[in-house]
Amino acid sequence: MQLIQLEAGKIVSKVVHGGRNLTQVLTETLRKQFDTTQERGALQDLCYGTLRYYSRLDFMLDSLLERPIPDTALRNLLLVAIYQLQYTKAGAHVIVDQAVKAAKSSNPAASGLVNAVLRNFLRRQSALLEAADLKEESRYAYQEWWVDVVKAQYGTRADEILEEGNRHPPMTLRVNARQASLTEYQTMLAAQDIVATVVQPGALKLERPVPVERLPKFNEGWISVQDAGAQYAAKLLDVKDGMHVLDACSAPGGKTTHLLELAKIDLLAVDKEEPRLQRVRENLQRLHMEARIACGDAARPKDWWDGRLFQRILADVPCSASGVVRRHPDIKWLRRADDIESFAVQQKQILDSLWPLLERDGKLLYATCTIFARENQRVVAAFLSQHNDAVRLELSVPGMSDGQLLPNEDHDGFFYALLHKQA
């Protein structure tokens, strides 16, 4: 465990101080070491948990120190250990002992400091938590600007939304209707002692997450792992057999394959990054589906479009991903306030660029996984004000308000706006 604590601290440092993506850094580390499933799971839990509560842990650590620690690796090792002491069920004595040994292996002189700080945390734990609650950044475990935006936009619901972003996300499956019914697959799961409940047509939420290797017929393409909120996209686009369809920002391919499950369509999947398109190809192959694939920027159709109009377009645009932070806690610390405006400009540019590719009487679904209005309602409003042939259609989705789904126990946060091009 001491090696896992040490590596978790290094990964946290690379994310917070180096601006690296958590998934990429974690993948790189797992390629080099930690062969067992248990070790890999433990490392992932420590990284995700420490980043989920980073500013809260950081506040408490500062309160325990008489002077700053210049060694970032040591500081992050302490943050990991404090996360374990506060949020996990591991024994306090074991956590402290392993952290001391981890510090000694890299910096023998620091082991005494680690021991003193962690034991002091255990003595002062209640008071530290109360003090952390007095400051919004450490109370909610988000950057201050993020808390301000959510409070200004959602008012009395802000606490609920921020707290939901710190919970563990559900694991939800999308059942391929071409292979099995929801009931049939639910029965197959039960036979494997996997409990699942229906959260919407086609979506099963697992009582407890399991490795995909345990899911019956996963490799045969019977199901995909996809959040229930994300599963609305393909359904809302209303595709029919024979239609010419564009998935403009398609990677990793979850919505691409869902569209192909719903109807026999001629689909073009576009993404600007070739490595990400490989994920689309892998998903298509696993589900035994076919689509045309092109590497290109959705905001620059002239580089990849053949001139044939589409009847349906899915624009799942790049965004701040504020609606999925419980799956990607590094986002809370990598995003900056001015990033939101940059995303909004890019999103509007993509909408403007794709609209001419849609035929008359066609539909375009604008989609994001953010809860910030600047990237959602305001982008769509600006677009509609400049395009007289565009009409926003009403959507009937449980829990949705003005196109916004907020994260809850069943799904992440998403925004959808269905635009109709008048004939």
Q: How far is residue 45's CA from residue 366's CA, in Å, rounded to a whole number?
A: 33
SS3 359: strand
Q: Which helix (H) or strand (E) segment is 7 a member of?
A: helix 2-16
Residue 249 a catalytic site member: no
Structure token pair of residue 176: 């391929």
Cross-strand bridge partners of residue 295: 271
Task: Please report where in the chains the tokens 């200004």 appear, as a residue.
Answer: 152
Catalytic residue among 47, 249, 319, 369: 369
Q: How far is residue 35's CA from residue 40's CA, in Å, rounded to a whole number?
A: 7
Measured at the alpha carbon of residue 188, what is the angle toward residues 183 and 193, in degrees to the nearest 5? 120
Beta carbons within 10 angstroms of residue 295's beta carbon: 14
Q: How far is residue 264's CA from residue 214's CA, in Å, rounded to a whole number?
A: 30
Query: In what side-by-side order are the strands of the sheet with 223-225?
Result: 196-200, 203-206, 172-175, 223-225
State the greatest distance between any 2 C-alpha atoms of the chain, in Å, as a whole number.
75
Q: Which helix (H) or strand (E) segment is 404 a member of?
A: strand 404-405
Question: Which residues are known catalytic residues?
Answer: 369
